Structure 1
Amino acid sequence: MRRLLSAVLILVLVVGWIGPVLTVALYRVVPPPITFLMVQRVVEGRGFSRTWVPLEDISPTLVRAVIAAEDARFCRHMGFDLEAIEKAIEYNARGKKVRGGSTISQQTAKNVFLWPRRDWVRKGLETYFTVLIELGWGKRRIMEVYLNSIEWGPGVYGAEAAARKNFGVSAKDLTPAQAARLAAIVPKPLSWRAARPGPYVQRRSGAINRNARAVRREGLTDCVL
C-alpha cells in the first residue's frame, strides 16, 4: 500500500508540476503544436490553416494593434493586470454581460496549454501556466506564440494565415488599418469578419488604430519591438 501511495505521489508530481515546467521549457524554442481548441474546431468541421512565422516576420503594426486592443499594459505587468481585473469585477457586478480581464499572457497560457471551456480548474491551471511562461519565455516569446496561435476565423490560426485569408498579404506586410481589423475581431473570431467588417467592427477597428498610435508614442511595446 505504501509503495502504491508513493507511486501515485510521484505520478502527481511529474504530471502536475514537472510536466508543465518541461513543456514550457520545450515551447520556448519549439513552436507549440496543435492546441485543444484547434482539435475541437477540426472535429466541428471548420478546417485548419496555420503557418508559423517568427516575430520578425510579423508587422509591428499588428503587435501594436493587439496590445492596444487586448492588453495595453502588456509590457508593464508580470502576467496579471490587477487594475483590469478590478475593473472587470466592478463591471460584471453592475451589468449583465461578462467582461474579462485576461492579459495577453493569460490568453496565451489558455490557448496553448488548456481547453476552451471555462471552469475553476482551467482558471487555476491558467494562472500556473501564466507564471511559468512569464518566467520562462519573456515578453517577446509570449507575443510570438500568441500571434501564431490565436483563432482568427473558422479554421484560421495565427497572424500569417489570418493576413493571407483576409487580405491576401503576408503578416509582415499588414498595414495599420488591416492590423487593427484583425485585432478588432479577436474576441469573436467566428462571428466578426476582418475582410468585410460590419459597422461595429469598423468602429472598433478605427478606435484600435487610433489607440495603436498612442501605444507607439508612449513606448508601450518596448518589451517586444
Structure 2
Amino acid sequence: MFRAVRLLLKVVLGFVLVSILWVGLYAVVPPPFTFTMLGDTLAGHSVTKDWTPLSDIDPDMARAAIAGEDSKFCTHHGFDWGAIAGAAMRNAEGGRIRGGSTISQQTAKNAFLFQGGGYVRKVLEAWFTLLIETIWGKKRIMEVYLNIAETGIGTYGVEAAAQRYFGHSAARLTPTEAGRIAAVLPLPKKREAVSPTGFVRRHGNTIARYVGIVRRSGLDACLR
C-alpha cells in the first residue's frame, strides 16, 4: 500500500512539473500543433494556420471575442463562477447543453487538451487554466486563443480565418467581420462567416454592435 501511494505521488508530482514546464514553454513559443488539429489531420483535413502576434491583429477581433465569449475576461482569474452556475442551472432543466467556459478555459483546453473527455478533462482544464492565468497573463492568453481557436474545418486562428473568409489579413478586420468570426467560434465545423444566414448572421451582427461597447467600457483594458 505504501509503495502504491509513493508511486502515485511520484506520478502526480511528475505531471505537475511537466505541465508547469509545458505552460512556461508556450509562454514564449507559439504552440506548434494541438490535439484538435491532430483530429482534423486524422480525419483527412489539411490544417491551415498562420501565427500572428496580438499586436498585428485588429483590436476589434479581441473585442469581438470578449463580446461574444467572455465579457468578464479582463476581470476574472480564469473562471466566471456566475456563468458556470447559470450554465449548470440551465443544463439541469434539460434541453440543449450549454457551457460556461471563459476564454482562459477555452485556451487551456485548445492548447493542452482534447475535445470531450467529461469530468476528467474538466479537471485538467481547470489546472491548466490556473497555470496560464498565473504564468502567461491576459495578453498572452488572448494571443494564443486568437491563434489556435478553430475557425472552420481545418482552419485555425483569426489570421487564417480572415484570409479564408474575407481575403485579407486580420490586421484590418472590420467590426462586422470580427463579429462574424466570433460568431463562428462556438461551432466552427457547422458555421460559415461568409454570407452567413440565420443565427450566425444575427449573432455576428449583435457581436459587431457590442465591439464599440467593449472599447468604450474598457472591457478590453487588460489588452491595451
TM bucket (normalised to shorter chain) is over 0.9
Runs of 4+ in 1 over 3 A off after TM superposition: 1-12
**Structure 2: any 5+ residue segments left out of the alignment?**
none
Which amino acid is 2:26 matched to?
Answer: Y
Which amino acid is 1:138 matched to?
Answer: G
Name the counterpart of 2:79.
80
Cα shift at 1:9: 4.2
**Count of paired positions:** 224
Cα shift at 1:90: 1.8
Task: Please show how residues 44-193 of structure 1 align to structure 2 within 5 Å.
Answer: 44-193=43-192
- CA distances 1:26-53 after superposition (whole Å, capped 9, x unpaired): 1100001100010011110121100101
Task: Please show how residues 5-24 of structure 1 align to structure 2 within 5 Å.
Answer: 9-14=9-14, 16-24=15-23
When structure 1 is superposed on structure 2, of 126-135 and 202-211 the one drifting more is: 202-211
- Say which SS state the counterpart of residue 69 (structure 1) adopts: helix
Which amino acid is 1:90 matched to?
Answer: M
- CA distances 1:167-219 after superposition (whole Å, capped 9, x unpaired): 00101111111000000111111111001211221111111111222111110
What percent of counterpart residues are identical?
Answer: 50
When structure 1 is superposed on structure 2, of 214-223 and 90-99 the one drifting more is: 90-99
- Say which SS state the counterpart of residue 223 (structure 2) adopts: coil
Residue 198 (1) aligns with residue 215 (2): no
C-alpha change, 1:5 and 1:77, in structure 2 (3 Å) is closer
Which amino acid is 2:21 matched to?
Answer: L
Give the TM-score taking structure 2 as reference length. Answer: 0.95
C-alpha distance in 1 between matches for 2:89 and 2:81? 12
C-alpha change, 1:187 and 1:4, in structure 2 (3 Å) is closer
**Structure 1: any 5+ residue segments left out of the alignment?**
none
C-alpha distance in 1 between matches for 2:27 and 2:68? 25
Cα shift at 1:86: 1.4
C-alpha change, 1:5 and 1:72, in structure 2 (3 Å) is closer
